[in-house]
């Protein structure tokens, strides 16, 4: 069993609480599905949001989909002038038998443009 990091991001249509929660939950569920994980496999998750997203903590969405005892943290991305707006990112640290090359990084909605090289 190895410790691996999984990256992901989703762009939100507007800074509205329900949209942040729904998009983040979609991202979390998709990371889990594509990498065949359970919450027992997850060590921790760091969420970031661009400075234009302030209506809710992205980690709350993970709590609502079953991450009750997983350590979660939220932070703000640095305000880079040409950055894609309204983006929630995550980095999940997991225990898995998958090789690093087999990890599925997940970029949804407009966030696919962030990492065309690794987005699945």
* Domains of the chain, first to last: 2-114 (3.30.1330.40)
Active site residues: 7, 63, 74, 77, 89, 107, 115
**If you write DSSP's letter for every residue of 27-72 in order, what string do you get?**
HHHHHHHHTT--GGGEEEEEEEE-TT--SS-HHHHHHHTT-TTS-E
Share of the chain above pLDDT 70, in %: 97
| Per-residue pLDDT tens digits for 20-61 | 999 999 999 999 999 999 999 999 999 999 999 999 999 999
Tell me the whole-structure pTM to 2 decimals.
Answer: 0.93
Query: For residue 113, what is the enclosing H or E element?
Result: none
């Amino acid at each position: 069993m190895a410790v691996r990091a999984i990256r992901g991001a989703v762009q939100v249509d507007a800074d509205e609480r329900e949209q942040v929660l729904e998009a983040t939950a979609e991202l979390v569920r998709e990371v889990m599905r594509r990498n065949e994980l359970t919450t027992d496999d997850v060590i921790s998750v760091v969420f970031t949001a661009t400075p234009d997203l302030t209506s809710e903590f992205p980690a709350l969405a993970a709590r609502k989909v079953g991450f009750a005892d997983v350590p979660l943290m939220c932070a703000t991305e640095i305000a880079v002038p040409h950055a894609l707006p309204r983006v929630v990112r995550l980095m999940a640290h997991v225990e898995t038998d998958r090789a690093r090359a087999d990890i599925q990084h997940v970029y949804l909605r407009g966030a696919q443009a962030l990492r065309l090289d690794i987005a699945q």
